[in-house]
Structure 1
């Protein structure tokens, strides 16, 4: 009897010892599942902007005017150098994630007109009250994180330009207006006691306007206006013509072969980025490179001349990347 009791006691002890181990195994398994679930949640939360749906915002029925849609409050003005582009990109905070939108762009630094004092409260209240009155919806009011700034800032081609905002220590107010006639309009502003910044995008899809240059177009331009403006690709900061650039040179050669009497000057132009003397030399070297390629394509050297102007003769103001690209060009000028 005592032996039986001993065996039963020993069995109970073994069961009681094994049970916590099994329970520990279950707990570890549950902890692992919880960890996986936790990681899954973190993955889903990695892009809060994905939860945003523009369709949730009602259309405004107000008359909002034309782009850029806003006149600044009385006594305030946009500083010189404001960016106004037919197509560009701007980043706006969707749930704290700087999200790119493309279309017509307006960016400006805002300050008081001469003789007036700037008021942060006046600017912010004027903007907010007006936007709400025309059916705009505020979708963000706060700061982004330093990590978010580090993630996106190099993607912004206008960083450091007029109206630049989107820094981690900067409060941003972001509004959206949806209009059946004007489309989606994104407006954000920030301010401190020295001045404000304003960004506006009227969202639009990109429209391709680049077409292949043809000899017939070059002849037509030279005949009608006396010049042809071309965009010949070169290696960055060099006078080496790329393969795409050589295709354009071939069309110039064909144009000169169509009209054997044509004599042209080839002018090189740059934007105003960097040293002026360097740009002038680079533009001259590029014009000479075009001449050399034309000669290699059978054009008499006596019909060609080259000159470089650097940034001295811009087509448009160098106040945006779009405009700077327009200024980086080669012009063919009809001499005879």
Structure 2
């Protein structure tokens, strides 16, 4: 009888433990995630796991608010730019999107923010709260709130040549908030900011495609320079940080093909160059891939491959100042060398 009582007690104890374990598993743990801080009425619940894997600004509501002129947001009362803001009509800036430092291209504005009057105390909460409220009121949506990992910083920071400029964001340890404003005209706006006990950092980027101001050289000019000078410098447009030809880049290669067809004895070496926005290894590979793209496109247009060769030289031998966008645009070039 005593053994039976002990057995029953043990069975009840095990059953109770099992119920507790199952109950504990039913309660989800609280985990900080970099999901979009979007609250909309009458909307189905958001799948946060899916959303954090692939951000797409087209999924955000469109803001039609009148934002005024770039950079759109004034300083909160009592705060100002520490130094002259960095402003570029076109540049590349990295934003942590889904935890990955992602390059975006467009109009850029960056600055350090501090108190106007040194007699006033700096409040990080006031700085953050002011911009979060202002951006949210015009339709901005938070898409990241956190720090980048050591591994992510090591992966990208060599490519972010601007790090060190006033207001730069993207270092380890910075608690970064990123907002996106989806605009109907395609000029989407990304704002990121962070701060510490002394000052804040603020970046604004409005997306817009790079407008090439260098015209396409026609086939007769290409042929003349190759025959008389043995060399011609061309500006062939590729997608940002890729070896994919843009439409006007394809037009430039079409002109090369016409020149080679006009002189079917001509053989050329295609040499690719980049600007210095990136590591040497990255730029070398990119320049090689872009030169190969030109070669492969020419063969697809009927040029015999035996007449062509290609090389990449990365950011070597710049022809202009890499500290300006105009200079970097000139350094991103393709040179044709007569063989």
Q: Give the TM-score taking structure 2 as reference length.
A: 0.49
Instruction: Look at both structures and tell me which one has the larger radius of gyration over its CA atoms.
Output: 1
Q: Give the TM-score taking structure 1 as reference length.
A: 0.49
Give 1 or 2: higher helix fraction: 1
